[in-house]
Amino acid sequence: MLEQIPFLNALRGKMQWLGARQRVLSDNVANAQTPRYKAKELEPFQFSTLVGRANRTDPSELRQTQRGHLTIRDRGLPGVKVMEDEQFWESLPNGNNVVLEEQMMKVAQNQMEFDTAVSLYKKSMAMVRRAVSNSQ
């Protein structure tokens, strides 16, 4: 039932993307002294891809009802692609371009966005619970 609410799907997608970004940023911090390591980043999260995918949902789409009957490819998160971060502040003589201050700013921004998404998700779930309890 909750999977049919596009707003909640978009929030879940954003939170998954932010979790993946947190892992990429932590890898950058962990490799701050590794020679020739290049900082990584994710492609920006696009809500429009979720909206487009939601509009293409076909009720007659194939579904796996029993294991082994058919193979369903994993669609994964749209836009979650690790790439080299091309916007960096400096590069060390050993070829490493990780700047800890820059990475920590990105981590803080990521945490704030995640907290906001969680707060919106909680409030939305409270509204859904209230609507369901009032309709009974």
| Domain residue limits, the chain | 2-135
Residue the block writes with tokens 């779930």: 125
Q: Which two tokens stand for residue 101?
A: 């201050």
- pLDDT of 66 > 60? The answer is no
Q: Which residues pair with 41 in a beta bridge?
A: 83
- Measured between alpha carbons, how far is 90 from 103 in angstroms, rounded to an integer? 12
This prediction's pTM = 0.69
Do the beta carbons of residue 32 and residue 98 sit within 8 Å? yes
Taking only the tens place, the pLDDT of each residue in 74-121 is 334 444 567 676 666 667 778 888 989 999 999 999 999 999 999 999
> pLDDT value at position 94?
83
Say how many CA atoms lie within 13 Å of 72 toward its Cβ: 12
Amino acid present at 111: Q
Task: State the pLDDT confidence band at 3, using cuts at 50, 70 and 90.
Answer: confident
